[in-house]
A and B are shown apart, each in its own frame.
Chain A
Amino acid sequence: MAVTKRALIALALAAAAAVPAASAFAQEDWPSQPVKIIVPVAPGGTTDGIARLLQEPLSQRLGQPVVIENKPGSAGVVATDAVAKAPADGYTFGIVFTSHAANPAMMPSLPYDTEKDLVPVAFMWRSVVSWSVPASSPIQTFDDLVAAAQEPGAVIYGTGGVGQASHFSAELFEQAAGVEMTHAPYRGAALATADAIAGQLPLLIVNTSTVGEHARAGTMRILATASPERSKMFPDVPTLTELGYPVSIGEFNVLVAPAGTDPAILQKFNAAVREAMASDKVMDQLNARDLVTQDYDLEEVQQFIAEETERMGKLVEDNDIRPQ
Chain B
Amino acid sequence: MDLLHNFYSGIGIAFQPLNLFVCVAGVFFGTLIGALPGIGAIAAVSMLLPSTFYLEPVTALVMLAGVYYGAEYGGSIASILLNIPGTTSSAVVCLDGNPMARQGRAGVALLITAVASYTGGTIGIVLLMAGSPLLVALAQSFGPAEYFSFMLLGLAAAGMMGSGSPAKGLAMIVLGLLLGCIGADVNTAAPRFTFGLTHLYDGINVIVVAMGLFGITEVIFGMMAPGRSTEVPRVSLRSMVPTPEDRRRAVMPILRGSTIGSILGVLPGAGATLSTFMSYSLEKSLARDPSRFGKGAVEGIAGPESSNNAAAQTAFIPTLTLGIPGTATMALMLGAMMIHGIQPGPAMMTQHADIFWGLIASFWIGNAVLLVLNIPLIGIWVQMLRLPSLYLYPTVISLICMGVYSINFAVADILLVLLFGLLGCALRLLKCEPAPLLIAFVLGPMMEENFRRAMLMSRGDVATFVERPLSLAILAVTVAIAGGMLLVSLRRRRAAQ
| Nearest CB of chain B from residue A57's CB, rounded to whole Å | 13
> What per-residue 1/0 map shows which CB atoms of A193-211 lie under 8 Å from chain B?
1110111110000000010
16 contacts between A and B (CB under 8 A): A44-B49, A44-B332, A45-B331, A69-B409, A73-B410, A78-B198, A81-B198, A153-B459, A156-B457, A187-B449, A190-B268, A191-B268, A214-B345, A216-B347, A217-B345, A323-B184
Q: Does A249 count as interface, using CB distance less than 8 angstroms?
A: no
Asked whether A198 lies within 8 Å of B140 as measured between CB atoms, the reply is yes
Asked whether A217 lies within 8 Å of B347 as measured between CB atoms, the reply is yes
**Across-interface contacts of A190 in B (CB, < 8 A):** 268, 323-325, 331
Q: Does A48 count as interface, using CB distance less than 8 angstroms?
A: yes
Q: Does B92 count as interface, using CB distance less than 8 angstroms?
A: no
**Across-interface contacts of B409 in A (CB, < 8 A):** 69-71
5 closest Cβ pairs, A-B complex? A213-B345, A44-B335, A323-B190, A198-B140, A217-B346
Contacts A44-B331, A190-B325, A217-B346 supplied; 8 other A-B pairs, CB < 8 Å = A43-B46, A190-B331, A197-B322, A213-B345, A213-B347, A214-B346, A216-B347, A285-B339
Residue in chain A with minimal CB distance to B49: A43
Q: A77 to B347, alpha carbons, bound, how many Å? A: 37
Q: A75 to B186, alpha carbons, bound, how many Å? A: 11
A42-B328, A48-B335, A288-B343 known; A184 vs B456 contact (CB < 8 Å)? yes
Q: A74 to B185, alpha carbons, bound, how many Å? A: 11
Q: A207 to B323, alpha carbons, bound, how many Å? A: 14
Q: A111 to B46, alpha carbons, bound, how many Å? A: 29
- For chain A residues 209-259, which have a beta carbon within 8 Å of chain B? 210, 213-214, 216-217, 219
Q: Does A140 count as interface, using CB distance less than 8 angstroms?
A: no
Residue in chain A with minimal CB distance to B42: A42
Asked whether B331 lies within 8 Å of A194 as measured between CB atoms, the reply is no
Asked whether A44 lies within 8 Å of B453 as measured between CB atoms, the reply is no
> What per-residue 1/0 map shows which CB atoms of A175-196 lie under 8 Å from chain B?
0000000101111101101110
Asked whether A198 lies within 8 Å of B198 as measured between CB atoms, the reply is no
Interface residues on A, range: 35 or more
| Nearest CB of chain B from residue A35's CB, rounded to whole Å | 17
Asked whether B322 lies within 8 Å of A194 as measured between CB atoms, the reply is yes
Q: A198 to B136, alpha carbons, bound, how many Å? A: 9
**Across-interface contacts of A53 in B (CB, < 8 A):** 339
Q: Does B189 count as interface, using CB distance less than 8 angstroms?
A: yes
Asked whether A185 lies within 8 Å of B187 as measured between CB atoms, the reply is yes
**Across-interface contacts of A186 in B (CB, < 8 A):** 186, 453
Q: Does A120 count as interface, using CB distance less than 8 angstroms?
A: no
> What per-residue 1/0 map shows which CB atoms of A43-64 lie under 8 Å from chain B?
1111011001100000000000
Asked whether A74 lies within 8 Å of B324 as measured between CB atoms, the reply is no
- For chain B residues 378-432, which have a beta carbon within 8 Å of chain A? 408-410
| Nearest CB of chain B from residue A56's CB, rounded to whole Å | 9
| Nearest CB of chain A from residue B100's CB, rounded to whole Å | 35
Q: A197 to B191, alpha carbons, bound, how many Å? A: 31
Q: A109 to B338, alpha carbons, bound, how many Å? A: 36
Q: Does B17 count as interface, using CB distance less than 8 angstroms?
A: no
Q: Does A66 count as interface, using CB distance less than 8 angstroms?
A: no
Asked whether A182 lies within 8 Å of B456 as measured between CB atoms, the reply is yes
Q: Does B438 count as interface, using CB distance less than 8 angstroms?
A: no
> What per-residue 1/0 map shows which CB atoms of B302-341 lie under 8 Å from chain A?
0000000000000000100011110010011111101101
Asked whether A198 lies within 8 Å of B189 as measured between CB atoms, the reply is no
Asked whether A323 lies within 8 Å of B189 as measured between CB atoms, the reply is yes
Q: Does A289 count as interface, using CB distance less than 8 angstroms?
A: yes
**Across-interface contacts of B453 in A (CB, < 8 A):** 184, 186
The segment from B25-33, B82-90, B110-118, B141-149 that touches chain A is: B141-149
Residue in chain A with minimal CB distance to B189: A162
**Across-interface contacts of A31 in B (CB, < 8 A):** none
**Across-interface contacts of A4 in B (CB, < 8 A):** none
Asked whether B338 lies within 8 Å of A161 as measured between CB atoms, the reply is no
Asked whether B46 lies within 8 Å of A44 as measured between CB atoms, the reply is yes
The listed residue (B50, B269, B346) touching A213 by CB distance below 8 A is B346
Residue in chain B with minimal CB distance to A153: B459
Q: A74 to B268, alpha carbons, bound, how many Å? A: 22
Q: Does B56 count as interface, using CB distance less than 8 angstroms?
A: no
Q: A221 to B196, alpha carbons, bound, how many Å? A: 42
Q: A213 to B342, alpha carbons, bound, how many Å? A: 12
Asked whether B323 lies within 8 Å of A213 as measured between CB atoms, the reply is yes
Q: A156 to B460, alpha carbons, bound, how many Å? A: 13
A184-B456, A194-B318, A217-B347 known; A74 vs B201 contact (CB < 8 Å)? yes
**Across-interface contacts of B345 in A (CB, < 8 A):** 213-214, 217
Q: A121 to B323, alpha carbons, bound, how many Å? A: 33
Q: Does B139 count as interface, using CB distance less than 8 angstroms?
A: yes
Q: Does A65 count as interface, using CB distance less than 8 angstroms?
A: no
Q: Does A163 count as interface, using CB distance less than 8 angstroms?
A: yes
Q: Does B188 count as interface, using CB distance less than 8 angstroms?
A: yes
| Nearest CB of chain A from residue B457's CB, rounded to whole Å | 6
**Across-interface contacts of A48 in B (CB, < 8 A):** 335
Asked whether A43 lies within 8 Å of B332 as measured between CB atoms, the reply is yes
Asked whether B198 lies within 8 Å of A42 as measured between CB atoms, the reply is no
Asked whether B346 lies within 8 Å of A184 as measured between CB atoms, the reply is no
